[in-house]
Amino acid sequence: MTLSEGTGLPAQSPPVEPAKTGHAPANGGQKRSWAGESGESVARNLVLVGVLVALIVIGAVTQPELYSDSTWVWNNIVSILQLASVVGVVTVGMTFVIIGGGIDLSVGAIVALAGVWCTTLATQSYGTVGMIFTALVVGVAVGLVNGVLISYGRLVPFIATLAMLVSARGLAAAISGKQTQISSNSFINSLASDRVLGVPLLVYILAVVAVAGWVLLNRTTFGRRTVAVGGNPEAARLAGIDVKLHTMLLYGLSGLCCGIAAIMLTSQATSAQAAMGNLYELDAIAAAIIGGTLLSGGRGTIVGSILGVLIFATITNLFAINGLSTEAQNMVKGGIIVAAVLVQQFRFKSLTRFFARNRATTAG
């Protein structure tokens, strides 16, 4: 719908080959490499890696003194990773929802609700397990409510999750009495502060979630259904896939990721409050889009989404070390989103062809 690449209708439209991608006419039937999923997404992700490297180079060029200090560089990398970790987990869930043809605007609010709920005095009295359990259950439950409204209540995902955004934050404020709730659980607090091999535990959590997400998307029947449901819901239904059930589960999965993110964010701040996770929905959606996830569903990769998150975190860091304002930063981010979509539309055909040709020749 909204931001999908190439919403511009061809004036006298030729056969728009992959129906879901709705491209402009000039590229007629050839926006897919014959290599299918691999060739194209590899090319795409390599470009993202290139962008990431370029951003780091810009950092080094603008702040040569800082970059001459290797401890500072290491610490800076760690802080970028730490910055990316919480949004990264949310983005993994978001990627699934978008590939499945939906959108989840309530992720930030779910993070807040789960964070607040798991840090009430009552919950904290149940200890670490109680807190973690609460955060996850709250996340999944709210996600499933979204899912039920969308699948069985037939609400548009945009509207259902927008409503959830408002009410979940409202509930979070009510539970916390608009107070900041301090976490006195040392295990949870240690997730952000403790390091293994010099890397904070939060980063490991992101790594585990990302790997699990990758496996789930690429190697399991759940992932296969996700692509089918998002790519062509009618075809999925006629092939015997329970589209409604699966859609509901996708929102549950997104909620689960929000629950995990809530624990991580609580750990970072050693507290929780109703305003936490503000605008995470935008960061997560933007990262997924930059990572090549098609807003209209049916296509996307976890690797791309994680690269998208890292690119955003690096930009934020770049602005911070150069002492620039967040306003400028937001404007640049907006520009990057637009650029990413444009680049995807125009550049990947040729790159993909290049890769496909190489494969064709090596394959004989």
Ligand X SMILES: Nc1ncnc2c1ncn2[C@@H]1O[C@H](COP(=O)(O)OP(=O)(O)OP(=O)(O)O)[C@@H](O)[C@H]1O
Round to whole Å and give the CA distance between 304 and 173.
34
What is the nearest approach in angstroms of ligand X to the Cβ of residue 27?
A: 9
Round to whole Å and give the CA distance between 184 and 283.
29
- Residue 212: CA atoms inside 13 Å, Cβ hemisphere, count? 13
Beta bridge pairs of residue 199: 196
User: What are the residues whose beta carbons fall under 8 Å from the beta carbon of 19, sequence distance 6 or more?
Assistant: 232
**Which residues inside 217-256 make contact with other proteins, applying CB under 8 A?**
219-224, 227-228, 231-232, 234-242
Q: Whose Cβ is closer to other proteins: residue 44's or residue 353's?
A: 353
Instruction: Output the six-digit token pair for 224.
Output: 């296969």
Instruction: Output the six-digit token pair for 352.
Output: 């993909």
Q: Whose Cβ is closer to ligand X: residue 78's or residue 351's?
A: 351
Round to whole Å and give the CA distance between 198 and 147.
39
Q: Whose Cβ is closer to ligand X: residue 225's or residue 353's?
A: 353
Binding to other proteins by residue 99, rule CB under 8 A? no
From candidates 29, 50, 177, 334, binder to ligand X by CB under 6 A: 29
Q: Whose Cβ is closer to ligand X: residue 61's or residue 363's?
A: 363
**Which residues inside 292-321 make contact with other proteins, applying CB under 8 A?**
298-299
Q: Whose Cβ is closer to other proteins: residue 110's or residue 236's?
A: 236
Residue 222 binds which of ligand X, other proteins, none (CB < 5-8 A, kind-dependent): other proteins
Strands 181-182 and 271-272: antiparallel
Round to whole Å and give the CA distance between 101 and 250.
10
What is the nearest approach in angstroms of ligand X to the Cβ of residue 40?
A: 12
DSSP one-letter code for 69: -
From candidates 8, 9, 19, 30, binder to ligand X by CB under 6 A: 30
What is the nearest approach in angstroms of ligand X to the Cβ of residue 6?
A: 16
Q: How many residues does the chain have?
A: 364
Residue 61 binds which of other proteins, ligand X, none (CB < 5-8 A, kind-dependent): none
Residue 231 binds which of ligand X, other proteins, none (CB < 5-8 A, kind-dependent): other proteins
Residue 327 binds which of ligand X, other proteins, none (CB < 5-8 A, kind-dependent): none
End-to-end CA distance of the chain: 41
Binding to other proteins by residue 20, rule CB under 8 A? yes
What is the nearest approach in angstroms of other proteins to the Cβ of residue 21?
A: 7
Round to whole Å and give the CA distance between 199 and 61.
25
What is the nearest approach in angstroms of ligand X to the Cβ of residue 5?
A: 17
Strands 195-196 and 199-200: antiparallel
CA triple 270-276-281, angle to 5 deg:
135
- Which residues of this chain interact with other proteins, rule CB under 8 A? 9-21, 25-26, 28-30, 32-37, 219-224, 227-228, 231-232, 234-242, 298-299, 352-353, 356-357, 360
Q: Which residues sit at the interface with ligand X, rule CB under 6 A?
A: 29-30, 34
